[in-house]
């Protein structure tokens, strides 16, 4: 037996003794907060990181959502996406996607950069076709009561499509359903801060209505979204980070030139 063959056999045996990998969470829906448009010095359209330079700076953002791809399985909801039919304007009874979603957007806890909302979200026409839709309520950070001065967060935003008509339902393609503006109110200790969309506290009974597999209903609850081992809705926040100073960028550039020269001389 060759040495190569022995190595292969030993490797296979060791792999068989290792514990099976833990199951990876597979959300049925993904929701994210990103930059809305390219903004000089801040970032490019769709970025999940915003560069912050000063207090009072405004950052245009949008909320996007996408139904997961065919083949996605979620253990908490005991559901697998076996097919996906986009809404074409006339097939509401058989189309798949998100019909309603309740969420908050909160400033992450910590001592980093702080962002505020001075106005609620503007929902797209698709997300305002149903009853009860709202751009949310302005609240003070860490509270549930409205603040008239410099509120930090938005609570209880509700996007609703027309009756049993999904919106934002293209698999692997994020679509905009709300836009807003963040204002930087503090640079904190200079560390990164975050603005995070989460399932809404304002209504615990029906935070979302999803349709998969030819319009089969799926309704994540507050409990299985926030305590389930395999969350049916995944959220991605926007990171607020300090932008490098122009002088620092210049020094980095000079250092890079120096390294290139040394390599050439070597």
pLDDT for 173: 84
Whether 10 is covered by a domain: the verdict is no
Task: Write out pLDDT tens, residues 152-197.
Answer: 899 889 999 998 898 867 666 888 999 999 999 999 999 999 999 9
Distance of CA 264 to the CA centre of its chain: 45
Task: Write out pLDDT tens, residues 49-66.
Answer: 999 999 999 999 999 999
pLDDT for 208: 84
First to last CA, the chain: 47
8 A C-beta contact, residue 243 and residue 52: yes
Whether 23 is covered by a domain: the verdict is no
The answer to whether residue 249 scores a pLDDT higher than 50 is no
Whether 98 is covered by a domain: the verdict is yes
Name the range with the highest mean pLDDT among 7-11, 217-221, 240-244.
240-244
Whether 194 is covered by a domain: the verdict is yes
How confident is residue 221, by pLDDT bands cut at 50, 70 and 90?
confident
Task: Write out pLDDT tens, residues 229-244.
Answer: 898 999 999 999 999 7
Q: How many domains does the chain have?
A: 1
User: Within a 10 A sphere around the Cβ of 142, how many other Cβ atoms?
Assistant: 10
Distances (CA, A) of 191 to 112, 113, 152: 4, 6, 18
Query: With b meaning 16 or more CB within 10 Å and e meaning fewer, what string describes 157-194?
Result: bbbbbeeebbbbbebeebbbbbbbbbbbbebbeeebbb
- Mean pLDDT of the residues in the chain: 81
Q: What is the CA radius of gyration of the chain?
A: 23
Question: Is 0.85 topped by the overall pTM?
Answer: no
How many angstroms separate the CA atoms of 71 and 57, rounded?
Answer: 42
Domain of 184, in residue numbers: 32-245
The answer to whether residue 213 scores a pLDDT higher than 90 is yes
Closest CA to 58 of 185, 152, 179: 185
Task: Write out pLDDT tens, residues 110-139.
Answer: 889 999 998 999 999 989 999 889 999 998
8 A C-beta contact, residue 228 and residue 39: no
């Amino acid at each position: 037996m060759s040495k190569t063959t022995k190595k292969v056999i030993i490797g296979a045996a060791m792999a068989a003794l290792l514990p099976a990998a833990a199951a990876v969470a597979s959300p049925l829906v993904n929701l994210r907060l990103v930059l809305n448009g390219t903004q000089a010095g801040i970032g490019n359209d769709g970025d999940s990181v915003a560069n912050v330079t000063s207090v009072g700076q405004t950052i245009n953002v949008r909320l996007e959502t996408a139904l997961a791809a065919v083949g996605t399985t979620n253990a908490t909801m005991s559901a697998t996406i076996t097919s996906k039919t986009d809404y074409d304007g006339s097939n509401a009874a058989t189309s798949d996607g998100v019909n309603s979603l309740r969420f908050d957007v909160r400033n992450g806890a910590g001592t980093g950069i702080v962002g505020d909302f001075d106005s609620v979200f503007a929902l797209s026409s698709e997300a305002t076709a149903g009853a009860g839709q709202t751009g949310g309520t302005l609240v003070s950070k860490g509270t549930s009561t409205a603040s008239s001065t410099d509120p930090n967060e938005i609570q209880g935003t509700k996007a609703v499509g027309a009756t049993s008509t999904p919106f934002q339902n293209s698999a692997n393609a994020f679509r905009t359903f709300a836009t807003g503006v963040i204002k930087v109110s503090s640079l904190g200790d200079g560390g990164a801060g975050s603005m995070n969309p989460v399932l809404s506290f304002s209504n615990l009974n029906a935070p979302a209505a999803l349709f998969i597999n030819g319009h089969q209903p799926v309704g994540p609850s507050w409990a299985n979204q926030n305590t389930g081992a395999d969350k049916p809705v995944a959220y991605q926040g926007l990171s607020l980070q300090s932008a490098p100073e122009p002088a620092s960028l210049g020094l980095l550039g000079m250092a890079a030139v120096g390294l290139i020269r040394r390599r050439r001389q070597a």
